[in-house]
Amino acid sequence: MAAIRQKLLGWYDDSARDLPWRETRDPYAIWVSEVMLQQTRVDTVIPYYQRFLETFPNPRALAEADEDAVLSRWSGLGYYRRARLLHAGVREVVAQYGGEVPEDPEARRGLPGVGRYTAGAIGSIAFDKEEPVVDGNVTRVLARLFRIDTPVGKTTTTRRLWEEAARLVPGERPGAFNQALMELGATVCTPKQPHCESCPVAAECEAFIHREVDAFPAQRARRPPKEVELSAVVATRGRGADRKVWLIKSEQPLFGGLWGVPMTEGGARSALREAGLQARLGSEPVGEVEHVLTHRRLRIAVYRASGVRGRETKRRRAFSADDLESVGISTLTRKLLTTALARSGP
Ligand code: SF4
């Protein structure tokens, strides 16, 4: 263990990438970065992280913002539930802890949206606590280092991974050590063709020693994503610069809280009806959009509708192009709007 620790820390000091969240020990900024980095690539996150902290530089600024403003800054990053949970967690920090992210691990883990991983990352990096972290990169590194042969995702595997991470973390600079593990997974111990020849811990790596790197981490059999067919309606009022597009605030868990075009599995007419709109609906779709989510592949027929009749409500509004810049809309909604509005409608 000591050799792994020492070699990884030395390697990290020499080779770590310069990333904006590595220049701070502010627990709030680290929290924001960790939430953004879940399921999103580093290159994508950097500009979002910087803009988000410019707009909401401290917990109070974020706690006081309304949800639309937060989602608008998150717009395009995906997995919007993360933004809403971060917002809720930070509001609790302001309400319960005077705006200071708590040092106590139990208090941190009690915050909305802060699981064991996020709590450990904040604790070790910001507060120098010997708290372990296990994310996708750490899972891969540890599964190979210790030849963990039970499939990823099983409870026994998860328990073992956290135990190994907890055995490794005690010692000097626990935050740097955790980041070294993650960095190794991101840059050297990659999912395909890992660079074992330049790995600082190859001599300690059981999978490498046994020439079995490709067998780890062990995977469960995967189910193919479910195919879902949907119809979406881009309903407009007015023309040219005066054109407004009708959006509804989604109640679907995946896009909850974001504005989106009316969409359903039941056909274009149902989508309009469910949204409470009457309009002249085009007889044929103007295009098709494919969108892949973690467990679902959406195939969406895109319709245009014009001459909309319907009143604005809290969950249904007509937006100009400028308005759209200031509200949270998903990447999928952007795709649907582009597909429909780039072509001539009915
Ligand atoms: Fe990963 Fe290869 Fe290093 Fe083992 S030797 S930790 S498999 S990069």
Provide the CATH number for the domain around residue 204.
1.10.340.30
Mutational test site, ligand 1, from 144, 190, 211, max ligand atoms within 8 Å of CB: 144
Taking residues 259-277, report their average pLDDT.
92
| Cα 143 to averaged position of ligand 1 atoms, centre (Å) | 10
Q: What is the mean pLDDT of the chain?
A: 92
Quick check: is 196 in a domain? yes
Structural domain including 112 reads 2-215
Residue 202 Cα to ligand 1 midpoint, Å, equals 6
**Does residue 77 share a domain with residue 165?**
yes
Do 86 and 191 have their domain in common? Answer: yes
Tell whether 209 and 231 lie within a shared domain: no
Q: Which residues are catalytic?
A: 34
Per the structure, the count of domains in the chain is: 2
The CATH number linked to 303 is 3.90.79.10
**Which pLDDT does position 254 carry in this prediction?**
57
Comparing 125-134, 218-227, 337-346, the range with the smallest average pLDDT is: 337-346
Mark whether 251 and 126 lie in a shared domain. no
Measured in angstroms, how far is the CA atom of residue 334 from the centroid of ligand 1?
Answer: 40
Residue 228 CA to residue 296 CA, distance in Å, equals 7
In a shared domain, residues 75 and 154? yes
Q: 293 C-alpha vs ligand 1 centroid, how far in Å? A: 30
Interstrand relation of 316-319 and 296-309 (parallel, antiparallel or unpaired) = unpaired
Q: Is the CB of 196 under 6 A from ligand 1?
A: yes
Q: Is the CB of 46 under 6 A from ligand 1?
A: no
- Same domain assignment for residues 159 and 253: no
**221 belongs to a structural domain:** no
**Residue of minimum CA distance from atom 2 in ligand 1:** 196
Q: Are residues 104 and 187 in the same domain?
A: yes
Confirm or reject: Cβ of 194 under 6 Å from ligand 1.
Answer: yes
| Ligand 1 in reach of 215 Cβ (< 6 A) | no
Domain endpoint, select from 191, 215, 239: 215
Residues 253 and 322 in one domain: yes
Q: Which of 155, 187, 215 is the last residue of a domain?
A: 215
Contact 84, 256 (CB under 8 A): yes
- Give yes or no: residues 180 and 248 share one domain: no
- Whether 147 is in the pocket of ligand 1, judged by its Cβ within 6 Å, is no
- In this prediction the pTM is 0.73
Distance CA 162, CA 220 (A): 19
19, burial (CB in 10 Å: exposed 0-12, middle 13-18, buried 19+): middle
- Write down the pLDDT at residue 309: 83
The atom number, within ligand 1, closest to the CA of 196 reads 2
Structure confidence by residue, pLDDT tens digits, 25-75: 999 999 999 999 988 899 999 999 999 999 999 999 999 999 999 999 998
Residue 220 lies in a domain: no
pLDDT of residue 253: 55
pLDDT grade, residue 345 (50/70/90)?
A: very low
d(CA 233, CA 240): 19
So what's the pLDDT on residue 255?
60
Residues 182 and 239 in one domain: no
Residue 35, in any domain of the structure? yes
The minimum-distance atom of ligand 1 relative to the CA of 199 is 3
Confidence of residue 186 (pLDDT cuts 50, 70, 90): very high
pLDDT of residue 34: 96
**What are the structure tokens assigned to 19, written together?**
């990333």
- What single-letter amino acid sits at 293? L
Ligand 1 site, residue 140, Cβ cutoff 6 A: no
User: Looking at the structure, do residues 99 and 200 belong to the same domain, yes or no?
Assistant: yes
Asked, for residue 254, whether it belongs to a domain, the answer is yes
Cβ neighbourhood burial of 88 (10 Å; 0-12, 13-18, 19+)? middle
Q: Are residues 29 and 107 in the same domain?
A: yes
